[in-house]
């Protein structure tokens, strides 16, 4: 008989039978725990990526909404639901006073075997990451000229640059009653920055660094600046186009004598019917139809081939002169040798077409040589159109002028004998339709002159290039379509008076998105507060908002002044408050001055970089910039935890 203690094989089998399930469960739990660690590592990777991407985007936009959208997208692209990823802007855990983007990722991993032993069905997993926004060591407010006044404040003024440096190759001066707020001050004068009353301070919770160093011009080799200045030579060569050169034709006077008018029309290949003070003109086919002068009598209306072919050609050896009541022309090509003149509350309209218009010989705006001289109630070209005018365009006081419609219009505008390509008087309303079709132009061979246009409203086309061979001066409200505006002269807003205007129900001084203004300084503002400058905003214009293009050759550049030759600078004066410039204001050869209560800053989520030979603030002026970018380079972003 075998003893129980001697039967070892049986006892081992029993122990193994008891322990094996436990061993399997332990291995399974370890495997599930390892899977949980793997999931946590994955979530940490997502948190790191999202925090870094969010910080980069916030650094270039200052927008928490954009930051959070990018954070959510990073999560989704890496298999994490957007609801499981959150971001926030916080103080950096390093304690250095910088901001950081905190991202938290909260997910769960499934547990199968743990449930058998009464455990949870899912394992919570949390990961977090901090990406710190390092202060930009490059300046967003820069004075380049080592022999100039540097950055100089007086009279209760303030500079606020909480996220970027204030840099000067000369002195930095903040006397009592003035303040400069920044994380870094760079100077290169023999003496350190002057702040006798402690006016140079760091933003709340941050530290201030003051460094003696040379600041290089960050845009000296910028491709957009170089291209903008190279284009000035082309604009300076713009000349007035030739007139249509048509002559002869029988003059038509639309009056009350039906027989004579009908005979005149018949000689020009058309017919006319008169009823109830209205002439209805019919010209069959495409022509060309050849006329002399077209004139109207008081109280007479004319419907001139309004149902005619779009391919019809109308030649006028003289002018079109509406002093009657209303004239409506159909579509087609109009070659008008001596211009279009309107007056006395009249309404004149054209359909879509091509308009080749020579210079008028009569007086208009105190001069001759205007191709369009409009003093009526309305002159409208109601369709996508091409305008080639040998002379300038004048829109009189209280008159409305509409040049084209839709997106495909083209403007080749010559100059009148006084050198102006476009003039608007007080209270006038003018619209240049967009010129964004293939081959469309926006060219003026003379000045854009609205200096007497107080209370006027002007809308300029969206176009890739706006070329103006003369000055750009306005006293009214101006809405700029997107594109580059190259002005071979000065740009003056309110240099001779004027102010904001209610246009279309909106208070408007100067407004444009996706806009770069380039001033050559070939001519300077001749007098007043803005005398001797190439760019000036004055006369109490309070609604000035300009945002630089975000792409293209001039991306990030909002105003470019003379870079060589002329030392004409820029000024914001006479209460020009609330100015918002998003992009770089670049005047390396001229000083930038703020005075008389003027205030300049960047728009929400945007960045203003101001670079001049020197920067001067007087009389309660305020200059503010909140930038994490400099000449297109993002500030440093560092994962710190």
- What pLDDT sits at residue 498? 80
- What pLDDT sits at residue 342? 97
Q: Compute the 3-state secondary structure of the chain and give helix, strand, coil in percent, each to the nearest 5.
A: 15, 40, 45
- What pLDDT sits at residue 257? 84
Q: Angle between the 8-61 and 64-77 helix axes, to the nearest 10 degrees? A: 150
What does the pLDDT look like over 71-116, one tens digit per residue? 999 999 898 998 999 999 898 888 766 788 999 999 988 876 655 6
What is the arithmetic mean of pLDDT over 274-283? 95
H or E stretch including 11? helix 8-61
- What pLDDT sits at residue 633? 38
* Banded pLDDT at 25 (limits 50, 70, 90): low
- Cβ-count burial of 15 within 10 angstroms (0-12 exposed, 13-18 middle, 19+ buried)? exposed
User: From CA 587, how far away is CA 454, in angstroms rounded?
Assistant: 28
Residue in the block written with tokens 């103006």: 468
- What pLDDT sits at residue 17? 55
User: From CA 263, how far away is CA 257, in angstroms rounded?
Assistant: 10
Please say whether the beta carbons of 583 and 546 come within 8 A: yes
Q: How many CB atoms lie within 10 A of CB 52?
A: 18
Q: How many CB atoms lie within 10 A of CB 53?
A: 20
Closest CA to 603 of 526, 543, 546, 538: 546
* Banded pLDDT at 2 (limits 50, 70, 90): very low
Please say whether the beta carbons of 421 and 414 come within 8 A: yes
What does the pLDDT look like over 528-583, one tens digit per residue? 889 999 999 887 787 789 999 989 999 999 999 998 877 789 998 876 677 888 89
What does the pLDDT look like over 325-345, one tens digit per residue? 999 999 999 999 999 999 989
Exposure pattern of 238-253 as b/e (b: 16+ CB <10 Å)?
Answer: bebbebbebeebbbbb
Share the mean pLDDT of the chain: 88
- What pLDDT sits at residue 3? 46
- What pLDDT sits at residue 92? 85
Percent of the chain past pLDDT 90, that is, above it, reads: 64
- What pLDDT sits at residue 229? 93
35: helix, coil or strand?
Answer: helix
Which bin fits 236, alpha (ψ -120 to 50), beta or left (φ > 0)? alpha
- Cβ-count burial of 11 within 10 angstroms (0-12 exposed, 13-18 middle, 19+ buried)? exposed
User: From CA 603, how far away is CA 582, in angstroms rounded?
Assistant: 6
pTM comes to 0.80
CB neighbour list of residue 18: distance below 8 Å, 6 or more residues apart: none
393: helix, coil or strand?
Answer: strand
Residue in the block written with tokens 């010989």: 361
Please say whether the beta carbons of 365 and 397 come within 8 A: no
Please say whether the beta carbons of 257 and 296 come within 8 A: no
* Banded pLDDT at 4 (limits 50, 70, 90): very low
Closest CA to 124 of 110, 104, 108: 108
User: From CA 25, how far away is CA 30, in angstroms rounded?
Assistant: 8
Which range is least confidently modeled, 97-101, 334-338, 470-474, 482-486? Answer: 97-101
Phi, psi of 598 (to 5 degrees): -65, 150
Phi, psi of 634 (to 5 degrees): -70, 150
Domain residue ranges in the chain: 11-133, 137-220+588-630
What does the pLDDT look like over 371-387, one tens digit per residue? 999 999 999 999 999 99
Residue by residue, what is the 3-state secondary structure of 487-502? ECCCEEECECECCCEE
What is the arithmetic mean of pLDDT over 360-367? 91
């Amino acid at each position: 008989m075998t003893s129980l203690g001697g039967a070892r094989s049986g006892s081992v089998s029993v122990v193994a039978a008891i322990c094996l399930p436990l061993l399997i469960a332990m291995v399974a739990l370890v495997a599930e725990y390892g899977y949980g660690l793997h999931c946590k590592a994955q979530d940490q990777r997502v948190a790191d990526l999202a925090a870094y991407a969010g910080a980069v985007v916030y650094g270039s936009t200052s927008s928490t909404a954009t930051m959070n959208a990018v954070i959510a997208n990073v999560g989704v692209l890496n298999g994490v639901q957007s609801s499981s990823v959150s971001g926030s802007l916080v103080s950096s855990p390093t304690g250095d006073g910088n901001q950081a983007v905190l991202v938290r990722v909260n997910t769960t991993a499934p547990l199968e075997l743990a449930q058998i032993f009464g455990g949870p069905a899912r394992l919570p997993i949390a990961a977090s990451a901090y990406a710190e926004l390092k202060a930009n060591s490059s300046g967003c407010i820069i004075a380049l000229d080592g022999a100039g006044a540097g950055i100089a404040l007086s009279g209760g003024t303030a500079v606020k640059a909480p996220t970027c440096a204030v840099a000067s190759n000369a002195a930095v001066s903040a006397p009592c009653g003035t303040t400069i707020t920044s994380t870094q001050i760079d100077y290169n004068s023999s003496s350190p920055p002057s702040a006798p009353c402690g006016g140079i301070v760091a933003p709340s919770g941050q530290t201030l660094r003051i460094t003696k160093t040379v600041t290089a011009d960050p845009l000296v080799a910028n491709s957009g600046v170089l291209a903008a200045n190279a284009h000035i030579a082309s604009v300076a060569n713009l000349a007035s186009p030739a007139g249509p050169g048509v002559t002869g034709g029988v003059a038509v006077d639309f009056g009350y004598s039906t027989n004579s008018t009908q005979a005149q029309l018949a000689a020009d290949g058309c017919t006319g019917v008169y009823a109830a003070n209205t002439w209805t003109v019919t010209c069959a086919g495409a022509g060309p139809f050849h006329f002399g002068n077209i004139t109207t009598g008081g109280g007479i209306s004319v419907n001139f081939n309004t149902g005619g072919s779009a391919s019809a050609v109308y030649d006028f050896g003289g002018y079109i002169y509406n002093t009657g009541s209303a004239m409506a022309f159909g579509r087609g090509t109009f070659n008008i040798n001596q211009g279009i003149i309107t007056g006395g509350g009249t309404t004149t309209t054209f359909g879509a077409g091509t308009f080749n218009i020579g210079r008028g010989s009569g007086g208009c705006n105190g001069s001759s040589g205007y191709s369009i001289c409009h003093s009526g109630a309305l002159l409208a070209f109601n369709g996508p159109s091409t305008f080639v005018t040998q002379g300038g365009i004048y829109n009189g006081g209280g008159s409305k002028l509409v040049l084209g419609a839709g997106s495909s219009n083209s403007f080749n505008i010559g100059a009148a004998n006084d050198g102006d390509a476009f003039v608007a008087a007080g209270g006038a309303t003018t619209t240049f339709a967009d010129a964004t079709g293939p081959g469309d132009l926006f060219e003026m061979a003379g000045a854009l002159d609205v200096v007497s246009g107080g209370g006027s409203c002007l809308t300029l086309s969206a176009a890739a290039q706006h070329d103006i061979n003369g000055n750009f001066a306005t006293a009214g409200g101006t809405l700029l379509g997107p594109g580059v505006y190259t002005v071979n002269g000065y740009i003056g807003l309110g240099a001779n008076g004027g102010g904001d205007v209610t246009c279309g129900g909106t208070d408007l001084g100067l407004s444009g998105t996706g806009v770069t203004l380039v001033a050559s300084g070939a001519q300077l503002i001749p007098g007043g507060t803005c005398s001797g400058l190439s760019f000036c905003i004055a006369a109490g214009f309070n609604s000035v908002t300009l945002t630089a293009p975000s792409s293209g050759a001039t991306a990030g550049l909002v105003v470019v002044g003379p870079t060589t030759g002329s030392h004409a600078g820029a000024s914001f004066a006479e209460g020009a408050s609330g100015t918002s410039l998003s992009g770089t204001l670049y005047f390396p050869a001229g000083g930038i001055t703020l005075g008389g209560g003027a205030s300049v800053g960047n728009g929400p989520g945007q960045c203003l970089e101001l670079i001049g030979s020197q920067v001067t603030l007087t009389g309660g002026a305020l200059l503010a910039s909140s930038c994490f970018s400099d000449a297109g380079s993002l500030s440093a972003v560092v994962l710190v935890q």
